């Protein structure tokens, strides 16, 4: 891949003025060959491998930052889904918690920000090990700092595992109760159609179809896209789409150049480029503000869904022209707590939970980082999750949910998480769920579009 001097200068300007960064480099690591019936031997092999590879990841990320001047904000590791690794071992919660603590200790030793993959693929059913791992989540996530979990609860090919969805509603309440302001819930995401190569937490894991090691890159440029939209106030929507496409093309080329070189010096496979626009709490680094710069008076008001659809389509078209390795989520994150524009929209009443769900029908990722009253019942939480995952199943796309029931908080209040996770207004949620529907359990069958073989 060749890059011109002009493109280098453009990238530097994006970095200095518009918060362009490589949001994450995530090294996927296969741990299946570490499995042993002896838990202590297994944990030692895992610890040694993660420390070794984590130190290398940080070393070469620092080198790439110094060489190109583009910040690499997060360094992360994803592993083989934990439930697969725990299959031969005693089916005890203490086994899963010990494994989680080993992962956390290794991540800390190697300076890794987050380690993902403490989860399971349960879209069609649960093994006894899967159930044990899910039961361990409240203890495992409350006793670790860097570990993130995921559950794939549904897919277009398998349908929706309602037993697991109902079970997770109760687990989520336990996780919230064991952590300050329920923040432990921010460390686990549940999915429909989870991608195996997602570099973004909390849902990252190293899928069974992946090589021993792969380096996945998550780029993010909401500040850059916001700037070009703001600088083109009078063009029509077709022209605006072209402007966004060209901008994302440049961002993706810069990210892939750095990612490929870093994978090469590490001696691992280059995996994918994830195009997701991911907000931060920094001023001007907001997806909601991009929508408002298009002309929507406030995110959540009529026109928001159409504008978001235009944005994500342009992002995907521009990125796919720049790289043949697009993967992961490659959508638009619209988290409430991490995006100043989203927070403002909720506080002013322009955005409610129902409209947020509607927005997720046209963007990947789903309901992300939103807070609800701590009194919200487990069956209401499960119903919210089921509704969102149904959008993913019916539309053959990835959707996810990260919801935080904050103990002691009521609708309209604010909760402050700090750091990257920001602050969130507590969103109003119906007090009435659908317990009779949920308690039917079973599996919602896959839609007819699943029969494509």
Read off the CATH number of the domain in which 112 is found. Answer: 3.20.70.20
Predicted confidence (pLDDT) per residue in 19-33, tens digit = 567 888 999 999 999
Q: Which has more pLDDT, 364 or 85? A: 85
Are the CB atoms for 61 and 25 separated by under 8 Å?
yes
d(CA 327, CA 213): 16
441 to each of 86, 323, 386, how far by Cα in Å?
A: 26, 43, 12
For position 5, what pLDDT does the model report?
A: 45
d(CA 367, CA 384): 9
Whether the per-residue pLDDT at 16 is higher than 70: the answer is no
For CA atoms 257, 193, 142, 31, give the dihedral sign: negative
d(CA 267, CA 262): 9
Whether the per-residue pLDDT at 4 is higher than 70: the answer is no
Q: How many domains does the chain have?
A: 1
Could you tell me how far CA 453 lies from the centroid of its own chain? 30
d(CA 179, CA 415): 13
Task: Indicate the pTM of the whole model.
Answer: 0.92
For position 335, what pLDDT does the model report?
A: 86
Q: Which of 236, 355, 195 is nearest to 288 (CA)?
A: 355
- The SS3 of residue 251 is helix
d(CA 182, CA 148): 14
E strand residue ranges, 112-227: 114-121, 147-155, 159-161, 188-192, 213-220
Under 8 Å CB-to-CB from 406, ≥6 apart: which residues?
176, 181, 182, 371, 372, 373, 374, 415, 426
Quick one: average pLDDT of 124-132?
96
Are the CB atoms for 43 and 95 separated by under 8 Å?
no
d(CA 32, CA 44): 14
Report residue 410 as tokens. 């009521």
Residue 92 region by backbone torsions, left for phi larger than 0, else alpha for psi between -120 and 50, else beta = beta
Quick one: average pLDDT of 288-310?
94
Q: Which of 378, 418, 415, 439 is nearest to 174 (CA)?
A: 378
For position 12, what pLDDT does the model report?
A: 54
Predicted confidence (pLDDT) per residue in 367-405, tens digit = 988 999 999 999 999 999 999 999 999 999 999 999 999
Q: What is the residue range of 346's domain?
A: 1-453
Quick one: average pLDDT of 344-360?
94
Could you tell me how far CA 38 lies from the centroid of its own chain? 33
For position 184, what pLDDT does the model report?
A: 92
Q: Which of 360, 49, 52, 76 is nearest to 205 (CA)?
A: 76
Are the CB atoms for 210 and 83 separated by under 8 Å?
no
418 to each of 108, 280, 289, 344, 426, how far by Cα in Å?
A: 20, 12, 21, 17, 15
Dmax over Cα atoms in the chain, in whole Å? 66
Quick one: average pLDDT of 205-225?
89
């Amino acid at each position: 891949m060749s890059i011109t001097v002009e493109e280098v200068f453009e990238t530097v300007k994006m970095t200095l003025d518009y918060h362009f960064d490589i949001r994450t480099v995530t090294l996927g690591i296969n741990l299946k060959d570490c499995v042993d019936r002896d838990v202590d031997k297994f944990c030692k092999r895992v610890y040694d491998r993660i420390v070794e590879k984590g130190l290398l990841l940080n070393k070469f990320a620092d080198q790439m930052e110094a060489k190109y001047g583009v910040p690499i904000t997060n360094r992360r590791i994803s592993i083989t889904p934990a439930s697969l690794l725990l299959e031969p071992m005693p089916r005890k919660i203490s086994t899963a918690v010990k494994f989680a603590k080993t992962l956390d200790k290794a991540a800390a030793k190697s300076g890794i920000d987050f380690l993902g993959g403490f989860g399971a693929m349960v879209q069609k059913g649960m093994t006894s090990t899967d159930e044990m791992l899910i039961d361990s989540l409240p203890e495992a996530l409350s006793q670790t700092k860097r570990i993130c979990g995921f559950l794939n609860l549904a897919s277009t090919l398998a349908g929706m595992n309602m037993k697991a969805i109902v079970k997770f509603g109760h687990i989520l309440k336990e996780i919230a109760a064991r952590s300050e302001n329920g923040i432990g819930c921010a460390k686990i995401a549940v999915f429909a159609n989870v991608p195996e190569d997602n570099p973004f937490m909390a849902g990252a894991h190293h899928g069974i179809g992946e090589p021993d090691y792969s380096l996945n890159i998550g780029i993010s440029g909401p500040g850059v896209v916001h700037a070009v939209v703001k600088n083109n106030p009078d063009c029509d929507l077709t022209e605006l789409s072209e402007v966004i496409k060209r901008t994302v093309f440049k961002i993706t080329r810069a990210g892939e150049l750095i990612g490929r070189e870093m994978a090469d010096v590490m001696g691992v496979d280059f995996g994918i480029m994830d195009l997701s626009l991911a907000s931060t709490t920094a001023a001007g680094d907001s997806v909601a503000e991009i929508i408002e710069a298009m002309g929507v008076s406030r995110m959540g008001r009529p026109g928001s869904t159409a504008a978001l659809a235009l944005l994500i389509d342009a992002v995907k078209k521009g990125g796919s022209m720049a790289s043949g390795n697009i993967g992961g989520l490659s959508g638009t994150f619209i988290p409430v707590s991490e995006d100043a524009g989203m927070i403002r929209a909720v506080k002013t009443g322009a955005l409610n939970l129902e409209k947020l769900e509607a927005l997720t029908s046209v963007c990947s990722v789903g309901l992300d980082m939103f807070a609800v009253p701590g009194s919200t019942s487990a069956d209401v939480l499960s119903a919210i999750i089921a509704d969102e995952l149904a959008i993913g199943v019916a539309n053959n796309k990835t959707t996810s949910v990260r919801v935080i029931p904050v103990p002691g908080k009521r609708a309209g209040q604010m909760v402050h998480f700090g750091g990257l996770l920001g602050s969130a207004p507590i969103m109003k949620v119906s007090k009435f769920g659908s317990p009779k529907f949920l308690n039917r359990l079973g599996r919602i069958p896959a839609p007819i579009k699943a029969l494509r073989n």
